[in-house]
Amino acid sequence: MPVEPGELDGLIEEATPEAVRAIDWLYPDYANDAGQTLWSLHAYVVDTPAHRVLVDAGCGNHKNLPLIPNWGGLDNPFLERMEKAGYRPEDIDFVLATHLHLDHVGWNTTLVDGEWRPTFPNARYTFVEDEFNYHKGLAEGEPASDDLAHAVVYQGANPDIHSQTRLVFAESLQPCLDAGQVDLVPSGHVVTPGVRYAATPGHTKGHHSVRISSGEHAALITGDFIHHPIQIARPSWSSRGDADRELSARTRTEFLRSVSGTDLLVLGTHFSGPSAGHVVPDGDTYRFRPVPETA
């Protein structure tokens, strides 16, 4: 799902128009001439020899999202696009979430005859236990850490994190629990051979990316520990939505240092334009080099 230009201005505070324009490789896919960062919301299907795995289920349709009103009440043909790509809801074996924010779990459920039901009837909804329990606690009124502080960015937003989390839990998580389709797993859990959770904390305490491997090849679906490609050039720049900005920057810096110049394929969850590529050295920092798209 594309995000309207300007809608996330200020999410990364240091990414002023002047700072964005200074990084020329961001153009034209990840920034525009006005110096605004460009964003998208992606879900990925990992097709293994044994299973089909959906990673991060977007905003969903008809959801109540007072934290980001423009992303609520949608009526998008997401499932139709999935079927066109060869994946019916009943074909999905596992649904994963890098974390449980509203724009990563929405398609877990769909509204059927006025009730929220699991979208993927044969899937195990497999979530990291620490992440799940934190959001369950928020839904039950426990104190929040500073995550989703970026609510103030959105015009017309209601910044009540507890209210929004209750809605997300009720609409996108509880129906999967009620259906007996949820598995809570530890950090590093291997979901199916070649697909495992990899801890990348900071955006949320329990944030996990998804590591994919096949023979000598490997890839990583980022989730939000790298929100935007500009953070590859400037890894110390954290999002206003990060629960722990220092930890987020440290996680990102260590990751970029370890993978720069390697064959690891990075799959950006919020990267507009080409979202698959490699991290390569760029002076004393890094840049994102997209891979050519194939037909």
Q: What is the structure's pLDDT at 149?
A: 42
Q: DSSP string spanning 44-84?
A: EEEE-SS-EEEE---S-SS---TTSGGGSS----HHHHHHH
Do the Cβ atoms of 287 and 242 come closer than 8 Å?
A: no
Give SS3 for 286.
strand
At 34-61, the pLDDT tens digits run 999 999 999 999 999 999 999 999 999 9
Cβ within 8 Å of residue 96, ≥6 positions away: 53, 54, 55, 56, 126, 127, 191, 195, 197, 210
Please report which residue ranges of 140-244 form alpha helices under DSSP H: 161-168, 174-178, 230-233
* Alpha-carbon gap, residue 197 to 115, rounded angstroms: 31
Mark the ranges of the chain whose per-residue pLDDT is less than 70.
Answer: 145-159, 293-295
At 104-137, the pLDDT tens digits run 999 999 999 999 999 999 999 999 999 999 999 9
Do the Cβ atoms of 226 and 84 come closer than 8 Å?
A: no
Q: What is the structure's pLDDT at 294?
A: 43
The vertex-227 CA angle with 73 and 82, nearest 5°, equals 50
Q: Tokens 């006025």 sit at which residue?
A: 114
| Token pair recorded at residue 194 | 């070649």
Strand 182-185 versus strand 217-221 pairing type: unpaired
Backbone angles phi, psi at 203, to 5 degrees: -65, -50
Q: How many contiguous H segments (helices) and E segments (strands) does the chain have? A: 8, 14
Q: How distant is the alpha carbon of residue 109 from its chain centre?
A: 17
Omega prior to 28 cis, within 30 of 0: yes
Q: What is the structure's pLDDT at 152?
A: 42
| Token pair recorded at residue 206 | 């329990």
Q: How distant is the alpha carbon of residue 78 from its chain centre?
A: 16
